[in-house]
Amino acid sequence: MHIEQLYTGCLSEAAYYIESNGEAAIIDPLRDIDVYLELANSRKTTIKYIFETHFHADFVSGHLDLATATGATIVYGPDTITKLPVHIAKDGEQFSIGNLSIEVLHTPGHTLESSCYLLRNKEHKPHAVFTGDTLFVGDVGRPDLAQKGEELTMEDLAGMLYESLQNKIVPLADDVIMYPGHGAGSSCGKNLGPETYSTIGEQKQTNYALQQQTKEAFVKAVTEGLAAPPQYFPINAKINKEGYESLDAVLEKGLQALSVEEFKQKALNQNMLIIDTRPAGIFTQGFIPTSVFIGLEGRFAEWAGSLLPFDKTFLLVTEEGKEKETIIRLARVGFENFAGYLKGGYTAWKEAGERTDMIIDVEADELAMDIPFDENLVVIDVRKEAEFGSGHLKQATNIPLNDLATDPGSMANLEDNQNIYVHCAGGYRSVIAASFIKRQGIHNLRNVLGGWSKIKELPDKFDIEKTAEVLN
């Protein structure tokens, strides 16, 4: 028996490779499938099955491309509705991998088709359970992702999830290893723990969702305080259910090297959007006007899916050699429309004498010096409401990045004659925000380096307060 967890940090996503006697199975593969093919090839195994725990909303699965490349059977759980060529398993159905077996445990609640996969060893003893988005370390999957046509409330799905956990997960032995579909940072739950695996016994002791409680109490616990899902979740779920263009075809479009003049001409098209993925500290020093910044160094794919429009075609500006990585990571969350990348990057644009823009970076202590003497100063804090509530500058206005980027109306009170200072927790989100503000024609702004992490180190220089009602 050989099990590998293949974890992708920027999406907090875990795929799995299971192998026995020359046969392998992949659980919840990402769209870029080379890692699975290379692993199977290096271990001289044949990928026999591709198990999907549900129709993923936070990324595009690699199930179709992987099945085409290997001939493997795609398996979904009961209640799956799709026209794709998949095997819809029955609850309790078993599949053999060498001398191992994998049993389908239908666990609706996160979605109707959600299923866990119980791995039994050669003695047929339960060894591990792959829980997808049904059960995480310290949390459970969000129950508010009912798909179009499913007349179910969040409370309905939460009730199903309670029954699934009580009937399928709680009865498992304490020593069964639990491998979830996501780790900390994922928006598929409310508060996932930092570990990427656990045991059923540990979760019975520590996970609020597995404690003895009434269904009503469980429903309240999992639905209370649940933030709205990112805008790309229903789009990705639909793509996974209906199919998508092959990644090779997407790469072929995106990996077109464009000269400065070709890039410039395409950028004049109103349906084109320039995405700059260089590091934040480099972007602020100079960029092509109207560019949107989302740096590869942060939670790139998640922010891209949350902020960027799916009806636009992208032109890319990247660090040299990062073009393919950028396209793959965007394709993971469903983006397929690319017109190419700027050959030579921003340096080529600048050396050609084209118009450029920049964002002024300032230290936190400079902001502290300006606040008392500038009546026209405006501080925009783009952290989430809960972050803002736990501590913020008294002068700050909270416009969470997601709202600022997707709702131009949130900037209605910003004017170019104001001295605008933008900050987040550490400096990544604030640069994204600044690029969106610039696109709205507001240019008199500064990015606070280090954000809140630096501001709170200077309590004697700032007036800091908490917002209790947000924390509650």
- For residue range 398-431, list pLDDT tens digits in order: 999 998 888 878 887 888 889 999 999 999 999 9
CATH number, domain 2-236: 3.60.15.10
Mean pLDDT across 23-29: 98
Q: Is there a shared CATH topology between the 245-351 domain and the 360-471 domain?
A: yes
pTM of the entire predicted model: 0.93
pLDDT above 50: residue 102: yes
| Domain 360-471 class in CATH | alpha beta
Q: What pLDDT score was predicted for residue 380?
A: 96
**Domain ranges across the chain:** 2-236, 245-351, 360-471
Q: What pLDDT score was predicted for residue 7?
A: 96
pLDDT above 50: residue 359: yes
Q: What pLDDT score was predicted for residue 412?
A: 77
**Average pLDDT for the chain:** 94
Beta partners for residue 396, in sequence order: 379
Q: What pLDDT score was predicted for residue 468?
A: 53
Query: In this structure, what are the phi and psi dihedrals at residue 294, rounded to the nearest 5 degrees?
Result: -145, 105
Sign of CA dihedral 256, 262, 264, 268: negative
pLDDT tens for each residue of 52-82: 999 999 999 999 999 999 999 999 999 999 9
Q: What pLDDT score was predicted for residue 290?
A: 96
Mean pLDDT across 435-459: 95
| CB count in 10 Å sphere of residue 270 | 7
Contact 176, 125 (CB under 8 A): no
Gap between the Cα atoms of 9 and 178, Å rounded: 19
Mean pLDDT across 93-101: 98
Helices (H) and strands (E) in the chain, counts: 18, 26
pLDDT tens for each residue of 177-205: 999 999 998 988 888 999 999 999 999 99
Question: In percent, how much of the chain has pLDDT > 70?
Answer: 99
Gap between the Cα atoms of 131 and 53, Å rounded: 7
pLDDT above 70: residue 396: yes
CATH fold for domain 245-351? Oxidized Rhodanese; domain 1 (3.40.250)
Gap between the Cα atoms of 325 and 340, Å rounded: 13
Q: What pLDDT score was predicted for residue 472?
A: 36
Helix (H), strand (E) at residue 177: strand 177-180
